[in-house]
Amino acid sequence: MCERTLRVEGPYDFDRVLDRLSLDPLNAVDKEDRSVKVPYYLGSGEGEVIKVQAIGTTDEPGFRIRFEHEENVQDKQDHISHIFQWGKGLHEVHEHFLQTELKPIFEEHMGTPIILEFDPFATIVKSIIHQQLNLKFAFTLTHRFVTTYGWQKDGVWFYPSPEKVADLTVEELRNLQFSQRKAEYVIGIGQKVKSGELDLDALAEETDAAIIKELTKIRGIGPWTAQSFLMFGLGRPNLFPTADIGIQNAIKHLFNMDRKPTQEELEQFSSPWHPYLSYASLYLWRSIE
């Protein structure tokens, strides 16, 4: 067991992070302790639990990170820093949006960062499961999937490995109330990662456009899922999923429209928000939650 303390650039509101993480019953969040336990994947069926606790304020954020083992601590700290986007100072982003029509939203939700899912493979699987479902049932179905085929350590759930997912049958997932197609999609992505046909580490080095092109070749992955992977799997800063219903409803509300905006209007509205479209997306979602 070892600990490290880290100070990062503000504003950064970790309590809002915990609020968002707590929506997913698979996440081990303790709001009173201002902490979350993060699964760190080491390989098939192996992992370490890393505890992240806030010890600062929104303006002067700081964190205590507790590791189970002393080996490769810097690599693990870098991984945690990447998940919580501690290297992406929000001050510049905040100042940018104060000059736009999103100013009221950014003032209300100041310091809300984009945080990543805890594992790239889990990000894609979760996105596929969540497709075309209301949020409550999406979390329920994901919970069934992970608690049935994943594993738990120190109260923290780990998603099943690609190898495990690849060997599942459609019938097994149908028993959890997966649709036929959703079951096929999840198993298919596991098979592609297991075989090496889809290398998520190598893919992460590509451009946004190249990643979207590669992922949308895969059955069950459309532009929405590919953009979700870019934003919440890799932390790319300039994504604006115009087909997302939440984005459309937030824009409709913000601009007092009596109908949903057209694609042309969405592009026009979002033009001043470059190069931080992902933050615009996040704050728009938050504005209607």
- Cβ atoms of 121 and 129 within 8 Å: the answer is no
What's the rounded Cα separation, in Å, for the pair 17 and 38? 13
Q: Which residues contact 146 (CB under 8 A, 6 or more apart)?
A: 26, 157, 158, 159, 160
What's the rounded Cα separation, in Å, for the pair 107 and 259? 26
Q: Is 239 exposed, middle or buried (0-12, 13-18, 19+ CB in 10 A)?
A: buried
Q: How many DSSP H helices and E strands does the chain contain?
A: 15, 7
Looking from the CA of 12 toward its CB, the CA atoms found within 13 Å total 22
- Beta-sheet strands, E only, within the chain: 2-7, 28-30, 35-43, 46-54, 62-67, 151-153, 156-158
Options 75, 199, 244, 258, the catalytic residue? 244
Q: Which tokens sit at 200?
A: 């998520």
The phi and psi torsions of 181 (rounded to 5 degrees) equal -70, -40
Q: Which tokens sit at 136?
A: 């409550």
Other CB atoms within a 10 A radius of the CB of residue 113 amount to 24
What's the rounded Cα separation, in Å, for the pair 153 and 176? 23
Q: Is 30 a catalytic residue?
A: no
- Cβ atoms of 173 and 187 within 8 Å: the answer is yes
Q: Which tokens sit at 9?
A: 């650039």
Residues labelled catalytic: 244
